[in-house]
Structure 1
Amino acid sequence: MPEQPQILATLKEYFGYDTFRPLQQEIIHSIFEGKDNLVIMPTGGGKSICYQLPAILLPGITLVISPLIALMKDQVDGLLANGIAAAYVNSSQHPDEQQEIYQKVLDKEIKLLYVAPESLSFLDTILSQVKVSLVAIDEAHCISAWGHDFRPAYTQLGYLKSKFPETPVIALTATADKATRQDICDQLNIPEATQHLASFDRKNLSLEVRPGNKRIEQIYNFLSDKPNQSGIIYCLSRKTTEALAEKLNDKGYKAEAYHAGIDHQKRSQVQEDFINDTTQIVCATIAFGMGIDKSNVRWVIHYNLPKNIEGYYQEIGRAGRDGLPSSTLLFHSYADVVQLQKFADMSGNKEVQLAKLDRMKQYAESLSCRRKILLSYFGELIEEDCGNCDVCNDPPTFIDGTIIAQKALSCVTRIKEQEPIGTVIDVLRGAQNAAVYDKEYQNLKTYGIGNDIAWRDWQQYIIQLINQGYLEIAFHQNNKLKLTSLSKKILFEGEKISLAHLKELEKAKQPVVIQSDQGAAPDLFEKLRALRLELAKEAGIPAYQIFSDATLKEMEKFRPVSDEEFMQINGVGRQKMQNYGYRFIKEIIDFSSSKTKKKKKKSAKKGNTHKETLALYKEGLSIEEIAMQRKLAVATVFSHIMKLYNEGEAIDLHQFIDKQDIDAVKKAKEELDHPEGLKPYFEHFEGAIDYNTIKLALAILNQ
């Protein structure tokens, strides 16, 4: 292991720093001792130095796995500028260029080699001929189905520890909750890795959330006192980034759009101009900013609700990396939630994604200190409010919630932290249902001690306890509620707790606009009946026990499109809302969308809707963006794409699927001996690859 003076001299010579930031030195020493490490360090915390500095001093080569071409290029450019021999290999390069890099690796002229996970297999022969001193896996959360950005190509990386058993592995990510952290270590075959958790507290960032009405006007007002400051506006769709950039330019701001539909050269130019302060504002989809070290981003706006807290935290973390005061603003609307629910439907881990989206929605609607919520989500508990968020600056009316908290925490204790929020509330309220009686919870001391509080009020109080760090959700254990280290202060140490008055919470939410009677729609009624029958068969109960015909008729007339509106329908109670609400709302939204389109295109030929999809595809929109623009389900747009492909249209199916998934389906096809239908494949992958991806892969393999 190098001596400390040599390590500090290397830090100064190559990176220009005299001292390490918190945790960096500890991590670097651990690597030199040959140990595996998991590093959770927020954006701007200095993760890269943790493996780049050891790479310079270790005798062989350091292999860095990285998910994005832009990220690799930025890192390698920075290393070369610092005089460190580095290169990257990915699909954007010509084979001759790659061969030249391979030769440099063999000649020991390169210290760090960045590789996309998909390209690893091509390097096996080369890596067998050199000494790999360190393996670094950046954006390591991508390996975990519990994480917020799961990428199937990452799941093969566990073999690296088997291939290089004596080589230390360092996995790094800016955001990972407790479940994701353990899953990363298990999948990478480094279960004993030392976990280093840096503080997530970015005190210089102010946090603000606003309802998503008149967003453009609100953005103009927000920017009025920031005429020359750099900022990023994150949007859900490509079209929004372009429209927003255009409007900002019309107002005199230097703004550019950034998304995957723009050609590589243009994207690089936007990135370069932003880094060099030539462009002031970038309106971007979420891919922008990863690994880009621009310290003077003064503000970040989320035009749409993010799909989870991990992604949101990572994106706001791109502001204020120089430590100076910086602003963040999040808009939220129910329309965003519905759209993100549709996206979750297409994901390989739907239930986890929906639970995390629900947590994001709770953050946006919260009346607790926002910094407390973010920090407790990542397992960092603080007791004082931050004083630098909109809730702290304009606090709600509080009540003494100590007895309420004691009852809730006692109940979680009595059921041994084995149940999600719904069952906890049922026990508190003394519910007489199977969820309670099957496990004999009616015999617990806490059974029925909270029957004086309504179910939905209990739900809001428990969410506040989660927000304040007294409870946490175990997403990897079917969303079971767990106690935290703060819980005992309420239970055993006499600590008092304040909870927001629930009337304030209702005011903070967007008002529920009850739909007017929209008239009869026999087609919708039949769709709702068919859905009811499907759900009844799944549950093994008569259809009328789900909803009566009268309730379906009321849905047909009033067409509720949010949880709050749905609860106004006669015959919809709390439990049925939880069990079936999303499916019925989705059916109503899909029906309303298709009806709107029929009105607009009465003259169009029936059944030609997939041609509209083709036009948008040719504009470079993704399946999700087409779905958003056309107000269709993602699955519907996918069916259009497949139909267009089968009709001979020039559709490149490869852009909708990873090579890793194609290879996996090909292998399964051989192992299963060319099975009939999609179900054998789905069961073979245990749900890790969804039906649409399997269908795509088979279409490509059958070309």
Structure 2
Amino acid sequence: MATIRKSSSQTMLDTPATLPAVRAITADKRDVLRDVFGYDNFRPGQEEIIDTLIGGKSVLAVMPTGAGKSLCFQVPALAMDGLSIVISPLVALMQDQVAALKLAGVAAEAIHSAQDREANVSAWQRVASGETRILYMAPERLMTERMLDALSRFEISLFAIDEAHCMSKWGPSFRPEYAQLGVLAQRFPGIPIAAMTATADEATRRDIELQLFDGTHRTFVSGFDRPNITLNVAVKQRWKDQLLDYLDAHRGENGIIYCLSRKKCEEVAEMLSGEGFDAIAYHAGLDKDDRSARQNRFVTESGVVMCATIAFGMGIDKPDVRFVFHTDLPGSIEAYYQEIGRAGRDGDPADAHMLFGPGDIRLRRQFIEQEDSEDDHKRREISRLNSLISYAEAQGCRRQTLLSYFGETTEPCGNCDNCKSPVTLKDGSEEANLVISAILETGEIYGQAHIIDVVRGAETEKVLKAKHDRLHCHGTGSSISRPQWQSIVRQMVAAGLVEIDIAGYSSLRLTDKGNAFTRGDGAFNYREEEPRLRRKTTSDSGPYRPAVALDLSDRDMDLLGALKKKRLELAQERNVPAYVIFPDKTLAEIASRRPTSIEEFAEIKGVGKSKLSAFGALFIDVVKGY
């Protein structure tokens, strides 16, 4: 277990030996939900988690993005006596959540590196005085001997760990500083711990439980499905044309485009700007202030397309991201799930589109092999990547394939490309046997390109030098195009008939399943390669009309536009993201119901007492103007 770091001089923690008790307000959970957050009912899965924490028992909660994880620890924090500590991995996430809580009338604070020392000292003084109910910190700031000692003088009601998968060495986003959190149960016995995540397979969950909980706890897995996100995958052909074709139908929407390299992020942003999109690049090569400014633009403005590496995303809580587009294969199925989860957090329709090709697979396997890590970790990462390849090559419902990885079963979703346009499969027994013959006859030491050259009868320098033009398998598949052979080999890898040996210079090897196939045990069907795509024009895409939460008339849409303008004005005055004032769904309900009194405005979902007092009259004036 990791040791606690010694902090440097932190005079803001020099507080009296005995601190005043935190001003405690015991409240009913439903009163908190209604009066603070403006909702009458909990979402599925929330109430049992909240009851468990209020009852003093720790919780590991795995809930899909957009299911309301934050309320699961914020409501108990306000219903119980004492101070609640929230551990969050990113400054941006802390800032947004604290801003939202303050607007809802909650005494919340954050102490982090992006604030100057004076602001942090001031925040700590409010904690020490008992004014603060919820305090946000990063793990490295919390887990110092001095901070833990200072907090031990308080009446702590709850520890909440956001993005808890970061503490598992088996997870795809391990952060060493998170591993220190395992000592909390010993330092603060009897205090419930809420570990929250949207991304944790069974092995990751077991690791979190083993590290974090000392005694009894409950694990809640609410499901991984995000049914509002349409899932699409396409073979990478001319990726720039494919991206532009896709974006033509998404003009004016907020979206994220993930790229593998910093250079590609800049290239894509420049290309899209030239096509009239409001596109900006984001990657770790930018300085801290520039990254912060670009992230703030994306969060606060509408219609911005962020072209980013995986350096962007974990702390982004923008609810109205309408699409996530991967120009390259992600690193694992968990990474993919987490990245597409940044779309459609408001529950409205959103889209996930991924391109992939053989080069992506080869590169990802090389990354894993070159890692400075143990063999067990590399094997797990290869297994994760193989699961993602199987998802990309899925011949049936993609959602079934994705959810099965996390141990869930479901009916065909009707909201993925394979469900909407079912794949026509062809018996590939003959083609698979030709590939297997070539692999075996050449000694299982050559990669895909050479195997395809042999099967197609090519007479390259490499083929002639190895005398593979004399093999029985040479030219046996000359009637099939190279792109189709590439697709067949890719689908054979996904089906488990052959595997790529990274340590053996990406050579293809037969698996046990492949050996059984050669003996007549099993079948292989493949999807024929689609023809190369032409570049569409904007007129091909049809008119764009943004999705909204309710079925609004044209007149309601005009009012919605005016409400959004007022919201943006209020957000800019307070230097917070627009959705922190009110989410789009709340504005859509206002546009539909048109409240003209405070009493009517109070009935709108998402309007608590504090926001009713602060903003009710302002938005009613906008409604009356229509």
Q: TM-score range by the shorter chain?
A: 0.5 to 0.7
TM-score, with normalisation over the residues of structure 1?
A: 0.58
Match of 2:235 among 203, 211, 220: 211
Aligned pairs for 1:616-635 (under 5 A) are none
User: What is the aligned partner in structure 1 of residue 531 from structure 2?
Assistant: none
- Once the two structures are TM-superposed, the CA of residue 342 in structure 1 deviates from its matched residue by 2.9
User: What is the aligned partner in structure 1 of residue 570 from structure 2?
Assistant: none
Alignment partner of 1:394 is 2:421: yes
1:196-239, CA deviations, whole angstroms, 9 ceiling, x for partnerless residues? Answer: 12232222221110011211111111122222122111122222
Number of matched residues?
448
Residues 575 and 149 (structure 1), Cα distance of their counterparts in 2 relative to 1, 3 Å cut: closer
How many angstroms apart in 2 are the aligned matches of 1:331 and 1:146? 26
User: What is the aligned partner in structure 1 of residue 390 from structure 2?
Assistant: 362
Secondary structure of residue in 2 paired with 1:48:
helix
How many angstroms apart in 1 are the aligned matches of 2:496 and 2:308? 39
TM-score, with normalisation over the residues of structure 2?
A: 0.64
1:524-578, CA deviations, whole angstroms, 9 ceiling, x for partnerless residues? Answer: x9xxxxxxxxxxxxxxxxxxxxxxx989xx9xxxxxxx9x88x99xxxxx99975
Alignment partner of 1:171 is 2:195: yes
User: What is the aligned partner in structure 2 of residue 585 from structure 1?
Assistant: 505
User: What is the aligned partner in structure 2 of residue 696 from structure 1?
Assistant: none
Check the 8 A contact 1:44/1:293 in 2, yes or no: no
How many angstroms apart in 2 are the aligned matches of 1:364 and 1:520? 31
User: What is the aligned partner in structure 2 of residue 135 from structure 1?
Assistant: 159
How many angstroms apart in 1 are the aligned matches of 2:88 and 2:306? 23
Alignment partner of 1:37 is 2:64: no
Unaligned stretches of 5+ residues in structure 1: 401-452, 461-508, 526-548, 555-561, 569-573, 589-703
User: What is the aligned partner in structure 2 of residue 223 from structure 1?
Assistant: 247
User: What is the aligned partner in structure 1 of residue 261 from structure 2?
Assistant: 237
- Once the two structures are TM-superposed, the CA of residue 131 in structure 1 deviates from its matched residue by 1.7
User: What is the aligned partner in structure 2 of residue 107 from structure 1?
Assistant: 129
Residues 350 and 92 (structure 1), Cα distance of their counterparts in 2 relative to 1, 3 Å cut: farther
Give 1:373's aligned amino acid. T
Secondary structure of residue in 1 paired with 2:323:
strand
How many angstroms apart in 1 are the aligned matches of 2:449 and 2:166? 34
How many angstroms apart in 1 are the aligned matches of 2:451 and 2:93? 43
Give 2:92's aligned amino acid. A
Check the 8 A contact 1:270/1:279 in 2, yes or no: no
Give 2:153's aligned amino acid. Q
User: What is the aligned partner in structure 2 of residue 82 from structure 1?
Assistant: 104
Secondary structure of residue in 2 paired with 1:514:
helix
Residues 360 and 583 (structure 1), Cα distance of their counterparts in 2 relative to 1, 3 Å cut: same
Residues 575 and 324 (structure 1), Cα distance of their counterparts in 2 relative to 1, 3 Å cut: closer
Check the 8 A contact 2:256/2:306 in 1, yes or no: yes
How many angstroms apart in 1 are the aligned matches of 2:415 and 2:184? 44
1:360-391, CA deviations, whole angstroms, 9 ceiling, x for partnerless residues? Answer: 11111111210001111122211x21111111
Secondary structure of residue in 2 paired with 1:323:
coil
Match of 2:359 among 335, 342, 351: 335
Check the 8 A contact 1:185/1:191 in 2, yes or no: no
Residues 393 and 520 (structure 1), Cα distance of their counterparts in 2 relative to 1, 3 Å cut: closer
User: What is the aligned partner in structure 1 of residue 82 from structure 2?
Assistant: 60
How many angstroms apart in 2 are the aligned matches of 1:576 and 1:280? 43
1:405-436, CA deviations, whole angstroms, 9 ceiling, x for partnerless residues? Answer: xxxxxxxxxxxxxxxxxxxxxxxxxxxxxxxx
How many angstroms apart in 1 are the aligned matches of 2:415 and 2:504? 40
User: What is the aligned partner in structure 1 of residue 535 from structure 2?
Assistant: none
Alignment partner of 1:27 is 2:55: no
Check the 8 A contact 2:366/2:502 in 1, yes or no: no
How many angstroms apart in 1 are the aligned matches of 2:221 and 2:272? 39
- Once the two structures are TM-superposed, the CA of residue 157 in structure 1 deviates from its matched residue by 1.1
Check the 8 A contact 1:309/1:359 in 2, yes or no: yes
How many angstroms apart in 2 are the aligned matches of 1:259 and 1:39? 30
Residues 520 and 48 (structure 1), Cα distance of their counterparts in 2 relative to 1, 3 Å cut: same
Residues 181 and 191 (structure 1), Cα distance of their counterparts in 2 relative to 1, 3 Å cut: farther
- Once the two structures are TM-superposed, the CA of residue 455 in structure 1 deviates from its matched residue by 13
Q: Which has the higher helix share?
A: 1
How many angstroms apart in 2 are the aligned matches of 1:191 and 1:176? 21
How many angstroms apart in 2 are the aligned matches of 1:252 and 1:575? 44
Residues 171 and 456 (structure 1), Cα distance of their counterparts in 2 relative to 1, 3 Å cut: farther
User: What is the aligned partner in structure 2 of residue 373 from structure 1?
Assistant: 401
User: What is the aligned partner in structure 2 of residue 312 from structure 1?
Assistant: 336
How many angstroms apart in 2 are the aligned matches of 1:224 and 1:577? 38
Give 1:114's aligned amino acid. Y
- Once the two structures are TM-superposed, the CA of residue 10 in structure 1 deviates from its matched residue by 1.3
Aligned pairs for 1:124-163 (under 5 A) are 124-163=148-187
Alignment partner of 1:256 is 2:280: yes
How many angstroms apart in 2 are the aligned matches of 1:518 and 1:512? 12
Aligned pairs for 1:468-487 (under 5 A) are none
1:43-77, CA deviations, whole angstroms, 9 ceiling, x for partnerless residues? Answer: 11110111112112222211111122222222222
Aligned pairs for 1:512-527 (under 5 A) are 514=453, 519=461
User: What is the aligned partner in structure 2 of residue 463 from structure 1?
Assistant: none
RMSD of aligned Cα (Å) = 3.9
User: What is the aligned partner in structure 2 of residue 73 from structure 1?
Assistant: 95
1:144-166, CA deviations, whole angstroms, 9 ceiling, x for partnerless residues? Answer: 12211112221121100111111
How many angstroms apart in 1 are the aligned matches of 2:215 and 2:389? 33
Residues 4 and 62 (structure 1), Cα distance of their counterparts in 2 relative to 1, 3 Å cut: closer
